[in-house]
Structure 1
Amino acid sequence: MKALGWNCQGMGRSLRSGKMSHLTRMIHSTKPQVVFVSEIKSSKVKTSDLVTRFNMNDAIVVPSRRRSGGLWLMWNDDLQVHIHSTNFHVILAIVVNISTNQKFGLVCIYGDPYHRQTSDIWNMIADFVYDNPSLPMVCIGDMNNILYDMDKSSSNINRSHMCAFRHLVKQCGFFDLGYSGPAYTWINKRFSSKPTFERLDRCLANAEWCVAFPISNVYNMRIIHSLSDHAVILLSTEGPVRKVKCSFKFENWWLK
């Protein structure tokens, strides 16, 4: 199974824009079963438009508010997708892979860039997780938050936001799936001589997901500045197991 995620920062003037042509090429080359696109900045596109333009089986649209936000979730006929709930920041769904009959939960997120609704967003996700115990869960999207110091290229880090986000992720039983490719998925200034880079886009999963999909690799694509400040990310449960070298670290919260 493959899932593609991208914060496109505006779809452009139409579904034939340069950005949307790039998305079409990415879908054609990576062949994902499900595609999540955030920050569309448009409320004019309909589900049928997406199905036709991107050659998908079905889709759901969460319209933007004026020129802010907007979400698309598209999938092909390999999957049965049952939408659980949606709002401005989240799409929650129960997915079944038709060929394997494997069932899993899908969380697609566009995090609050102003950090005012972060707790509400993640409490909604936590309720979804708790209502579906023992179900493999994966979360993909632009989190608009970092988990660790290494996720930002500068030392100017809001540790309060970072620690709060880490706590919210842990309460869902999620952990980071890691990545291959460039270390950062977002840049703040396209033409700055010393830009700030962050890893805002990522995939999270629970332990049940790793049991069901022991081969789960995340690929960070290159940021194309002329299209978006965010990179496309690809989750794949196919191919070789990626070996990660890391040291063991004990978390005090485990004692609780």
Structure 2
Amino acid sequence: MKVLSWNCQGLGTALIVRNLNDEIRKNNPSIIFLMETKIKLARIRKIRSKCGFIHDLYVEPKGLAGGLALWWHGGISLSVLYKSKNSIHTIIESASLKVPKYATFVYELPKERERRVV
């Protein structure tokens, strides 16, 4: 099972979508985690569908900042245990895994002084 994690810094342009599709073809991931999507749910679901993924979870951006997307294929059972504007905590099951695995997908602000301690 492969996971692709990408800070796409806006998924609305044709060039970014084309680059994402290139990465999907090259790496054949089972799960994709996208950070800084900066677009609304309806648009990102169209892109997900065009990229060949069935399931998704989305954290909406705040204005023109942020946004998280998690996509996965049908052979995977992914349950979300927790989500916030910066992270998605999951448990993943599939035929290729002997036991369920926990995975946390995190996006944090790049400048340490801008991060908030929780």
TM-score band by shorter chain is 0.7 to 0.9
User: Amino acid of the residue matched to residue 49 of structure 2?
Assistant: T
Alpha-carbon distance in 1 for matches of 2:107, 2:72: 18
Give the TM-score normalised by the residue count of structure 2.
Answer: 0.86
SS at match of 1:102: coil
Give the C-alpha shift of residue 86 in structure 1: 0.9
What CA distance in whole angstroms lies between the structure 1 residues aligned with 2:47 and 2:90?
Answer: 18
Q: Distance in 1 between matches of 2:67 and 2:74?
A: 24
- Residue 2 of structure 2: aligned partner: 2
**Greater strand share, structure number:** 2
Are 1:68 and 2:65 matched, yes or no? yes
Structure 1 residues 8 and 51, CA gap change in structure 2 (3 angstroms)? closer
Q: Is the 8 A contact 1:47 1:60 kept in 2?
A: no
Matches within 5 A, 1:1-256: 1-13=1-13, 17-45=14-42, 48-115=45-112, 116-120=114-118
Contact persistence 2:33–2:69 (CA under 8 A): yes
- Gaps (5+ residues) in structure 2? none
Tell me the alpha carbon deviations over residues 17-46 of structure 1, each in whole angstroms, 9 at most, x when there is no partner.
Answer: 111111011112211110001011122445
Letter in 1 for 2:11: M
Taking every aligned residue pair, what percent have the same amino acid on both sides?
22
Instruction: Tell me: higher relative CO, structure 1 or 2? Use CA pairs within 8 A at least 6 residues apart.
Output: 2
Separation (CA, whole Å) in 2 of partners of 1:72 and 1:36: 6
2:58 and 2:18 map into 1 onto residues whose CA distance is 19
- Equivalent pair of 1:35/1:74 in contact (CA under 8 Å): yes
Q: Secondary structure at the match of 1:119?
A: coil
TM-score (norm. length: structure 1): 0.42
How big is the alpha-carbon RMSD for the aligned residues of Structure 1 and Structure 2? 1.9
Cα distance change, pair 118–79 in 1 and its aligned pair in 2 (3 A)? farther
Checking the alignment, whether the CA contact within 8 Å between 2:17 and 2:47 is kept in structure 1 is: no
Q: Is the 8 A contact 1:34 1:76 kept in 2?
A: yes
1:69 aligned counterpart, secondary structure: coil
For residue 107 of structure 1, what is the amino acid of its counterpart? T
Q: Give 1:50 shift.
A: 4.2
Task: Identify unmatched segments of 5+ residues in structure 1.
Answer: 121-256
